[in-house]
């Protein structure tokens, strides 16, 4: 900082304080010096108004805490007690630990803060402490507070009815200091807050106006009061995201001219007539939605989501036929060669009556076959090309590509998707259909996938046998494997899945490699067994998967590399060891490898697990509904686990949780739709507030809601 700036700053700080507004920098607030201002900045708090938007992430009151006597070792608890003793003790490593003993009506508990001897100055006998943390065993029960609040001294009655807001804190700022800061300024700041949204809109959504909501979240009279306040803020956040998505979607569609196909009902009708089954209602609906997109002048950008086995392939083929009867080419891209081959085989069978033979293009193709394939794509004939990303290498030229279909889209990166656009006919980008077998609730899909349109197959083709699923304990291991052997005796095949490839010092998990040895030497001594995992060269993996598909292998001992979507109807048993190490959606995906033929299939989750994990596994045991499972997975483990790295492209929420707040999310989406239908660019005076809200909080809003 230059001297001049420094001087100006000192003058500012010593001069008369400016009138407080929501835009007043926090450095002007009493008690906030440069160091704390910097810490506040880390929490996103720069001006006084930001402080109001810094919302407690949790509330505590006497009704939400655990009685001290119930705080069991291992449990994560919040307790409230009065300090009866304090002291600082050195550890053998020279660390100084502040300790306190608290007491409530039910008992005593020791608290310890390693490395924080200075707490001795702020925590005294008689103070009431509210602490959260895990109870450990250390010469008895002991809790190291992850978070704590000193409520000061007083008799117990002074705590009654008090709801404590617990704020997200950061280094250098305690929860307590933050609370005090908010408390000090709340009554001055609240009257400055204006409601940015039309009252009618709030009434429809059933959420309180902003000033009231902020009062409720910061100074609630009850936990329910706080929740109501929070609902407004969460709803507003969701509303903004939906406004942005919807606007982006509309603009993209307007600017995105694609091929306008006509519904000629030639190949599509022939396909319908040639099908050995009738489409499910869900399939018909999806086909209708896709046909609608393809026959409009706008470019399709749609996601088709449906559980394993919901019949996405047929829907894809209908779309392909529509493109082809219009004289265009269609490309279906699968994430692996095996899946591509499988699709080609399916397409070959179903399309033979129509006189269509798909072109397969994978990296395995010999030079001659490859040349033949490339020649067909370069001709202007309506071709159906099926392959891996090899379809989109530089030397592949489509003469008239009108539609691209991508299976298991989460395995393709953004760049690969972008490369598709470049392959269209006459510079026209092809329409795009993405398919995924990790279905998520529609409201969440609409929230997460932004400008994609979403079609959902929420119905299974009839006649599918459910997979019998069970969780078996370690004690049943021998019986489980002898059951597998009876299935093998009947000519079936089995998968045995492990969470790790090799043994490691860090865990004592059973691993695929050692268990392969053990199983070959033990229960499967007379069987043809193979080991499959991600560290094998791709070619070797491919050979093994093929051999399994062709029935040359009885048991496949594997990690999760077993491909999504691979179809081996003769495989009827799936054993999953250490099932607690997998996400529920992942277990469901794995289970989808069996139950693909006419025979009864089984999925056995094998192992001793804790009671929480056992409850979690019951979700998979009890249902085969992928939506229900992904919903449970999302509830329990959050979005990161379900989507992995892809999450980086998803909107981040500060307050809302689109899963937990599903009802709010739906209402926000509906409101957004209504608002933009009535006022697409939010130009009307009553929408000035929301416009401002958007442009302040979202950079993208500037381009999406440009004036004029």
Q: Which residues bind ligand ADP (CB under 6 A)?
A: 277, 279-280, 283, 306, 308-314, 437, 461, 565
Nearer to ligand ADP, 197 or 437 (CB): 437
Q: Is residue 626 close enough to count as binding Mg ion by CB under 5 A?
A: no
Nearer to ligand ADP, 332 or 659 (CB): 332
* Nearby residues of 295 by Cβ (< 8 Å), 6 or more positions away: 260, 261, 262, 263
Residue among 565, 595, 607, 626 that touches Mg ion (CB under 5 A): 565
User: How many degrees, rounded to 5, is the angle at CA 667 between CA 661 and CA 671?
Assistant: 140
Partner interacting with residue 215 (select from ligand ADP, Mg ion, none; CB below 5-8 Å by kind):
none
Residue 547: phi and psi, rounded to 5, are -60, -40
Stretch that binds Mg ion, among 16-24, 140-148, 561-569, 648-656 (CB under 5 A): 561-569
Partner interacting with residue 68 (select from ligand ADP, Mg ion, none; CB below 5-8 Å by kind):
none
Q: In whole angstroms, how close is the CB of 452 to ligand ADP at the nearest point?
A: 18
Spatial contact of 608 and 473, defined as CB atoms under 8 Å apart: yes
What is the distance between the alpha carbons of residues 173 and 461, in angstroms, rounded to a whole number? 57
Segment 346-349 long-range contacts (CB within 8 Å, at least 24 positions apart): 346/313, 347/317, 347/384, 347/386
What is the distance between the alpha carbons of residues 110 and 132, in angstroms, rounded to a whole number? 13
Q: In whole angstroms, how close is the CB of 435 to Mg ion at the nearest point?
A: 7
Stretch that binds Mg ion, among 360-368, 490-498, 504-512, 560-568 (CB under 5 A): 560-568
Q: Is residue 592 close enough to count as binding Mg ion by CB under 5 A?
A: no
Nearer to ligand ADP, 237 or 407 (CB): 407
Q: In whole angstroms, how close is the CB of 313 to Mg ion at the nearest point?
A: 5
Residue 304 DSSP code: E
Structure tokens at 107: 């008992």
Nearer to ligand ADP, 272 or 477 (CB): 272
688-697 and 223-255 are packed helices; what angle lies between their axes, rounded to 10 degrees? 90
Nearer to ligand ADP, 389 or 596 (CB): 596
Q: In whole angstroms, how close is the CB of 51 to ligand ADP at the nearest point?
A: 50
Q: Is 573 in a helix, a strand, or coil?
A: strand
Partner interacting with residue 279 (select from ligand ADP, Mg ion, none; CB below 5-8 Å by kind):
ligand ADP
Stretch that binds Mg ion, among 244-252, 374-382, 415-423, 562-570 (CB under 5 A): 562-570
Q: In whole angstroms, how close is the CB of 311 to ligand ADP at the nearest point?
A: 3
Nearer to ligand ADP, 244 or 290 (CB): 290
Nearer to ligand ADP, 280 or 586 (CB): 280
User: How many degrees, rounded to 5, is the angle at CA 111 between CA 76 and CA 172?
Assistant: 85
Nearer to ligand ADP, 298 or 464 (CB): 464
Q: Is 2 in a helix, a strand, or coil?
A: coil
Map tokens 């085969």 to a residue: 624
Nearer to ligand ADP, 461 or 651 (CB): 461
Q: In whole angstroms, how close is the CB of 43 to ligand ADP at the nearest point?
A: 45
Q: In whole angstroms, how close is the CB of 626 to ligand ADP at the nearest point?
A: 10
Q: In whole angstroms, how close is the CB of 307 to ligand ADP at the nearest point?
A: 7
Nearer to Mg ion, 439 or 565 (CB): 565
Q: In whole angstroms, how close is the CB of 407 to Mg ion at the nearest point?
A: 6
Helices (H), 352-428: 367-378, 414-421
Q: Is residue 523 close enough to count as binding Mg ion by CB under 5 A?
A: no
What is the distance between the alpha carbons of residues 572 and 599, in angstroms, rounded to a whole number? 7
Residue 138 DSSP code: S
Helices (H), 197-309: 199-205, 210-218, 223-255, 267-274, 281-294
Q: Is residue 258 close enough to count as binding Mg ion by CB under 5 A?
A: no
How distant, in Å, are the alpha carbons of 270, 318, 350, 351, 461 from that of 273? 5, 12, 11, 11, 17
Structure tokens at 19: 């009138």
Residue nearest to Mg ion according to CB distances in the complex: 565
Q: In whole angstroms, how close is the CB of 561 to ligand ADP at the nearest point?
A: 18
Nearer to ligand ADP, 227 or 411 (CB): 411
Q: In whole angstroms, how close is the CB of 389 to ligand ADP at the nearest point?
A: 19
Q: Is 700 in a helix, a strand, or coil?
A: helix
Partner interacting with residue 314 (select from ligand ADP, Mg ion, none; CB below 5-8 Å by kind):
ligand ADP
Nearer to ligand ADP, 291 or 694 (CB): 291
What is the distance between the alpha carbons of residues 15 and 20, in angstroms, rounded to a whole number? 14
Stretch that binds Mg ion, among 122-130, 271-279, 511-519, 565-573 (CB under 5 A): 565-573
Partner interacting with residue 283 (select from ligand ADP, Mg ion, none; CB below 5-8 Å by kind):
ligand ADP
Nearer to ligand ADP, 33 or 276 (CB): 276
Q: In whole angstroms, how close is the CB of 313 to ligand ADP at the nearest point?
A: 3
User: How many degrees, rounded to 5, is the angle at CA 168 between CA 162 and CA 174?
Assistant: 80
What is the distance between the alpha carbons of residues 260 and 316, in angstroms, rounded to a whole number? 18
Spatial contact of 407 and 387, defined as CB atoms under 8 Å apart: no
Q: Buried b vs exposed e over 265-274: b needs ≥16 C-beta within 10 Å?
A: eebbebbbee
Q: Which of 270, 268, 266 is nearest to 353 (CA)?
A: 270
Cβ count within 10 A of residue 505: 5
Q: Is residue 499 close enough to count as binding Mg ion by CB under 5 A?
A: no
Partner interacting with residue 311 (select from Mg ion, ligand ADP, none; CB below 5-8 Å by kind):
ligand ADP
Q: In whole angstroms, how close is the CB of 26 to Mg ion at the nearest point?
A: 54
584-591 and 626-637 are packed helices; what angle lies between their axes, rounded to 10 degrees? 150
What is the distance between the alpha carbons of residues 611 and 8, in angstroms, rounded to a whole number? 62
Question: Could you list the residues that contact Mg ion (CB under 5 A)?
Answer: 565
């Amino acid at each position: 900082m230059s001297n001049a700036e420094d001087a100006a700053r000192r003058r500012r700080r010593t001069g008369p304080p400016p009138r407080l507004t929501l835009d007043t920098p926090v450095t002007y607030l009493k008690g906030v010096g440069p160091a704390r201002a910097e810490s506040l900045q880390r929490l996103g708090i720069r001006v006084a108004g930001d402080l109001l938007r810094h919302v407690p992430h949790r509330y505590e009151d006497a009704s939400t805490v655990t009685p001290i006597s119930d705080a069991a070792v291992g449990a994560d608890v919040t307790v409230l007690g009065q300090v009866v003793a304090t002291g600082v003790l050195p550890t053998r490593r020279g660390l100084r630990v502040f300790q306190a003993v608290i007491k409530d009506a039910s008992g005593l508990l020791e608290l310890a803060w390693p490395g924080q001897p200075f707490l001795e100055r702020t925590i005294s006998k008689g103070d009431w402490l509210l602490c959260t943390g895990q109870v450990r065993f250390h010469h008895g029960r002991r809790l190291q507070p992850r978070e704590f609040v000193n409520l000061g001294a007083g008799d117990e009655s002074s705590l009654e009815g008090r709801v404590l807001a617990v704020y997200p804190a950061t280094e250098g700022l305690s929860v307590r200091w933050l609370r005090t800061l908010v408390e000090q300024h709340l009554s001055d700041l609240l009257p400055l807050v204006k409601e940015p949204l039309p009252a009618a809109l709030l009434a429809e959504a059933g959420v309180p106006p902003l000033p009231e909501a902020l009062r409720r979240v910061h100074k609630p009279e009850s936990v329910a009061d706080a929740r109501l306040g929070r609902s407004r803020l969460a709803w507003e956040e969701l509303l903004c995201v939906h406004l942005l998505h919807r606007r982006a979607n509309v603009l993209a569609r307007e600017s995105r001219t694609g091929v306008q196909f006509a519904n000629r009902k030639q190949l599509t009708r022939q396909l319908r007539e040639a099908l050995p089954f009738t489409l499910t209602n869900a399939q018909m609906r999806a086909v209708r939605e896709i046909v609608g997109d393809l026959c409009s002048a706008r470019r399709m950008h749609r996601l088709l989501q449906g559980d394993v086995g919901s019949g996405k392939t047929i829907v894809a083929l209908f779309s392909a036929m529509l493109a082809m009867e219009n004289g265009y080419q269609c490309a279906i891209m699968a994430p692996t060669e095996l899946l591509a081959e499988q699709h080609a085989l399916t397409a070959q069978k179903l399309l033979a009556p129509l006189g269509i033979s798909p072109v397969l293009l994978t990296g395995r193709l010999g030079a001659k076959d490859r040349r033949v394939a490339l020649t067909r794509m370069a001709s202007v004939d309506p071709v159906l090309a099926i392959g891996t990303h090899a379809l989109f290498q530089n030397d592949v030229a489509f003469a008239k590509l009108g539609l691209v279909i991508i299976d298991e889209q989460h395995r393709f990166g953004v760049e690969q998707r972008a490369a598709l656009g470049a392959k269209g006919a006459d510079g026209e980008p092809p329409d795009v259909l993405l398919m995924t077998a990790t279905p998520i609730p529609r409201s969440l899909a609409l929230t997460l996938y932004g400008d994609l349109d979403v079609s959902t197959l929420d119905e299974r083709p009839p006649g599918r046998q459910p997979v019998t699923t069970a969780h078996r304990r370690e004690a049943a291991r021998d019986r489980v494997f002898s059951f597998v052997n009876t299935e093998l005796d009947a000519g079936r095949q089995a998968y045995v899945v492990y969470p790790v490839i090799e043994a490691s010092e860090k865990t004592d998990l059973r691993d695929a490699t050692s268990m392969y040895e053990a199983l070959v030497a033990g229960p499967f001594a007379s069987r043809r067994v193979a080991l499959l995992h991600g560290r094998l060269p791709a070619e070797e993996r491919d050979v093994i998967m093929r051999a399994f598909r062709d029935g040359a292998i009885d048991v496949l001992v594997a990690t999760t590399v077993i491909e999504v979507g691979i179809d081996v109807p003769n495989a009827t048993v799936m054993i999953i060891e250490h099932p607690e190490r997998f996400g529920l959606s992942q277990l469901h995906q794995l289970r989808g490898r069996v139950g693909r033929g006419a025979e009864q299939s089984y999925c056995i989750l094998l192992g001793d697990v804790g009671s929480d994990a056992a409850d979690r596994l019951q979700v998979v045991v009890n249902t085969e509904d992928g939506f229900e499972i992904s919903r449970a997975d999302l509830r329990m483990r959050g979005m990161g686990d379900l989507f992995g790295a892809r999450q980086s492209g998803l909107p981040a929420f500060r307050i809302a949780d689109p899963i937990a707040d599903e009802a709010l999310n739906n209402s926000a989406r509906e409101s957004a739709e209504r608002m933009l239908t009535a006022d697409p660019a939010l130009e009307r005076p009553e929408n000035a507030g929301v416009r401002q809200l958007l442009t302040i909080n979202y950079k993208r809003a500037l381009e999406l809601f440009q004036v004029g």
